[in-house]
């Protein structure tokens, strides 16, 4: 099986890493070759760390890196069996990508989207064969988080849905089946929860450090909410919050003012070197 990954940002590069580690020839597509090479360097780095820690053989690491080819041309995804789109969260961008992808791939190629807050049904609406579209929503960091949500859109064919589920298993994940509802399962719960956490900062007058300690030591979270928001990025979180608020109109879904201010100031988290914390 050959996998295509469109967009090699934080999520796409993690998904490409999973694919090559699982033994699939993988084509990664980015808009600029420099960005694609940066993603490959990062994948190579994480696989080297596994060798250093004794969880991966050197030969297996080298073979995995060699299974990844890079391109800027969507036409190079023509012989992929499954293409997973992990591009920018913008409906127009995804519509254009899906239309071009459908024109280059085979009739039986599955087109999956890693969208976290857009409707899979709406993304698939531009396809001639929307039955081939499915959601495969991974969690950040994709190589470490076990879950993948397999999202059935209105017109997803049964065999496509099950094939995506099976692919999730082959990628070493724990897939769950769900419907194309706003936020699917986890973000429907996690986004308002993280928004509450940010509101509590000001309401209770606690520091990010204290809130993080509270949720780690009082609720068993693996990382605190402020650390998590810095990992996900204020831009990604605010966008997802707004998308959920637009659809559900629940006040808790709306992005908290403090996070919007951080976004406006370019304090996006790890990716810009400053968020709730400095990196």
Give the residue numbers marked as catalytic. Answer: 116, 137, 149, 187
Shortest distance, CB of residue 142 to ligand 3HC, whole angstroms? 7
- 69 is an interface residue for ligand 3HC by CB under 6 A: no
Query: Judging by DSSP bridges, how do beta strands 147-152 and 133-138 pair with one another?
Result: antiparallel
Binds ligand 3HC by CB under 6 A, chosen from 12, 14, 255, 275: 14
The rounded Cα 161 to chain-centroid distance in angstroms is 18
- Identity of the residue, 74 or 191, whose beta carbon is nearer to ligand 3HC in the bound complex: 191
CB of 34 to ligand 3HC, least distance (A): 20
Q: Where are the alpha helices (DSSP H) in the chain?
A: 10-21, 33-52, 58-66, 91-104, 120-124, 158-170, 186-203, 208-219, 225-232, 234-248, 257-264
Q: Radius of gyration of the chain from Cα atoms?
A: 19
Please state whether beta strands 82-85 and 25-29 pair in parallel, antiparallel, or not at all (unpaired): unpaired
> CB 240 → ligand 3HC: shortest distance, Å?
6
Q: Does 144 bind ligand 3HC (CB under 6 A)?
A: yes
Strand partners, 150: 136, 177
User: What residues from 30 to 59 belong to the interface with ligand 3HC (CB under 6 A)?
Assistant: 46, 49
Taking the complex as a whole, the smallest distance from the CB of residue 205 to ligand 3HC amounts, in Å, to 26
| Residues at the site binding ligand 3HC, with contacts judged by CB under 6 A | 14, 46, 49, 116, 139-141, 143-145, 187, 190, 222-223, 228, 232, 236, 240
């Amino acid at each position: 099986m050959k996998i295509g990954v469109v967009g090699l940002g934080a999520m796409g590069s993690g998904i490409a890493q999973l694919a090559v580690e699982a033994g699939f020839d993988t084509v990664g597509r980015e808009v600029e070759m420099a960005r694609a090479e940066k993603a490959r360097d990062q994948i190579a780095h994480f696989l080297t760390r596994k060798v250093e820690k004794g969880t991966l053989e050197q030969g297996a690491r080298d073979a995995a890196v060699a299974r990844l080819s890079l391109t800027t041309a969507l036409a190079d995804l023509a012989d992929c069996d499954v293409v997973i789109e992990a591009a920018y969260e913008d409906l127009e961008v995804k519509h254009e990508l899906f239309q071009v992808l459908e024109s280059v791939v085979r009739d039986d190629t599955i087109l999956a989207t890693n969208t976290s807050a857009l409707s899979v049904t709406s993304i698939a609406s531009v396809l001639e064969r929307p039955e081939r579209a499915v959601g495969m929503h991974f969690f950040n960091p994709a190589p470490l988080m076990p879950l993948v949500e397999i999202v059935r859109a209105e017109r997803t064919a049964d065999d496509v849905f099950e094939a995506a589920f099976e692919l999730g298993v082959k990628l070493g994940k724990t897939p769950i089946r769900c419907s194309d509802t706003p936020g699917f399962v986890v973000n429907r719960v996690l986004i308002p929860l993280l928004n509450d956490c940010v509101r509590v900062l000001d309401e209770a007058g606690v520091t990010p450090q204290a809130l993080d300690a509270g949720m780690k030591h009082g609720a068993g979270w693996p990382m605190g909410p402020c650390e998590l928001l810095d990992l996900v990025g204020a831009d990604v979180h605010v966008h997802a919050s707004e998308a959920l608020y637009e659809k559900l109109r629940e006040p808790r879904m709306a992005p908290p003012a403090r996070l919007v201010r951080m976004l406006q100031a370019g304090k996006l988290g790890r990716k810009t070197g400053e968020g709730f914390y400095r990196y």
